[in-house]
Amino acid sequence: MNIKLAVLPGDGIGPEVTSQALKVTEAVCQKYGHELHYEYGICGAHAIDAVGDPYPAQTHQLCMESDAVLFGAVGDPKFDNNPSAKVRPEQGLLAMRKQLGLFANIRPVETFDCLIHKSPLKDDLVRGADFICIRELTGGMYFGPKKEGDDEAYDTNLYSRAEVERILHVAYGYARQRRRHLTVVDKANVLASSRLWRKVAQEIAPQYPDVTTDYMYVDNAAMRMIQEPRFFDVMVTENTFGDILTDEGSCITGSMGLLPSASIGTHTSVFEPIHGSWPQAAGKDIANPLATILSAAMMFEYAFSLKAEAADIRRAVQRSLDENIRTADIQVAGQRPYSTTEVGQWITSQISQKSE
């Protein structure tokens, strides 16, 4: 297979973790006989500094012409600490999602037995937790009408029936591939937009009689994720709630540096870690690359239907954890921490050795 990638490293630790995922991708393609071509694009703070636009037209064109996008992270303190900034790195991320039609974000939350001790939750609560959060990605407050002033500001949580229907159908599709249990998360007791979500979900549920559907307010869902994470199989929710809940989900695994994601929709799909740019660590070679490497595994599976290749990456990641080839954030006490580059090289070598 010929594979053309757009590689958008972004800001902070983005270039460091993306480079390791790209090495793994190259090793997999070489092993399985795929022809890999890739081209770099700019986005985020880097793009603002270079051309004044966090998602330039040239970058968008590259994404549209590619089979998949491998993405790092965006964000920089000089924008975070400046409330009056008119252009921000995160605007590039939102523009990319909107222009590529990426309406569904798929975020798996899965525990690793050898990392249970890193979770702030008790072993008997998190062991075996394995669920997917499907977040609507191009609607809600992040994209609705807004006003920002010195004395008044608002964001509009706007959703249409069509937007809710399409993300629900995606969620039911994933539930059918798993344990056939879907939880619709909303705030229907307070928000009109959530009442639309629940109404549409109740109308669609009979189309999937093989899937158990339940409904949960977002505050209850946040509590239930901590009290009983194994309850969930597939969770679907709107943009803002999904952003918050999936970050909470990272605590279940013990590190945000372990969670990959896929954003899918109308055009080219984007694969990225859920963590941010962590600018304080940029250039120190200490960031955990596993979430980005696992995002590459999702890319092989979801963008190209290459399940064997994806499984190979996941096995290599599991071996790195089992043999304590880990960055400092997840390393076992008494073991030396490995650098970003060392972890990436070790996983790459594991994949390459299999072809010898």
Of 187, 208, 312, 338, which residue is the catalytic one? 187
Q: What is the average per-residue pLDDT within 109-136?
A: 88
Over the stretch 68-82, which tens digit does the pLDDT of each residue have?
Answer: 999 999 999 888 777
**pLDDT for 334 beyond 70:** yes
Comparing 334 with 25, the larger pLDDT belongs to: 25
Whether the per-residue pLDDT at 356 is higher than 60: the answer is no
Task: Choose the catalytic residue: 55, 142, 208, 338.
Answer: 142
Between CA 208 and CA 194 the distance in angstroms is: 21
Cα 293 to chain center, whole Å? 12
The rounded mean pLDDT for the chain is: 94
CA 124 to chain centre: 26
- For residue 332, pLDDT over 90 is answered with no
Run of H or E including 81: none
219: annotated active-site residue = yes
Pick the catalytic residue from 11, 186, 233, 243. 243
Q: What is the pLDDT of residue 137?
A: 94
Query: Is-same-fold flag (1-107+257-356; 120-253)?
Result: yes
Q: Which tops the pLDDT comparison, 84 or 16?
A: 16
Q: 161-170, 222-231, 246-255, 278-287: lowest mean pLDDT where? A: 246-255
State yes or no: is 210 an active-site residue: no
Section 342-354 average pLDDT = 93
SS3 per residue for 196-251: HHHHHHHHHHHHCCCCEEEEEEHHHHHHHHHHCHHHCCEEEECHHHHHHHHHHHHH
Structure confidence at residue 103 as a pLDDT band (50, 70, 90): very high
113, 123, 214, 219: the active-site residue: 219
Average pLDDT over residues 335-344: 97
User: How much of the chain exceeds pLDDT 90, in percent?
Assistant: 82
Question: What pLDDT shows up at residue 255?
Answer: 76
Q: Token pair 């757009």 is at which residue?
A: 6
Catalytic residue among 247, 285, 302, 329: 247
Q: What is the mean pLDDT of residues 238-242?
A: 96
Q: Indicate the domain borders of the chain.
A: 1-107+257-356, 120-253
Q: Which residues pair with 181 in a beta bridge?
A: 212
pTM: 0.89
Check pLDDT > 90 for residue 51.
yes
Give me the torsion for CA of 207, 209, 211, 216, rounded to 10°: 70
Q: What CATH number has the domain spanning 120-253?
A: 3.40.718.10
Question: Is 322 one of the catalytic residues?
Answer: no
Tens-place pLDDT, residues 254-295: 777 888 999 999 999 999 998 889 999 999 999 999 999 999
Average pLDDT over residues 312-336: 94
Active site residue 154: no
Give the integer Cα–Cα distance in Å for 125 and 231: 10
Domain 1-107+257-356, second-level architecture: 3-Layer(aba) Sandwich (3.40)
pLDDT at position 310 over 70:
yes
**118-to-36, 127, 265, 277, 293 alpha-carbon distances in Å:** 36, 12, 34, 22, 20
pLDDT band for position 112 (50/70/90)? confident
Rounded mean pLDDT of 295-302? Answer: 96
Per-residue model confidence (pLDDT) at position 354: 52
CA distance 82 to 280: 17
For residue 355, the model assigns a pLDDT of: 46
Output the pLDDT for position 256: 75
247 in active site: yes
Rounded average pLDDT over 168-195: 97
Parallel, antiparallel, or unpaired: how do β-strands 104-110 and 260-264 relate?
A: antiparallel
% the chain with pLDDT above 70: 99
Helix axes 307-322, 14-32, angle to 10 degrees: 120
Q: How many other C-beta atoms are found inside a 10 Å radius of the C-beta of residue 308?
A: 11
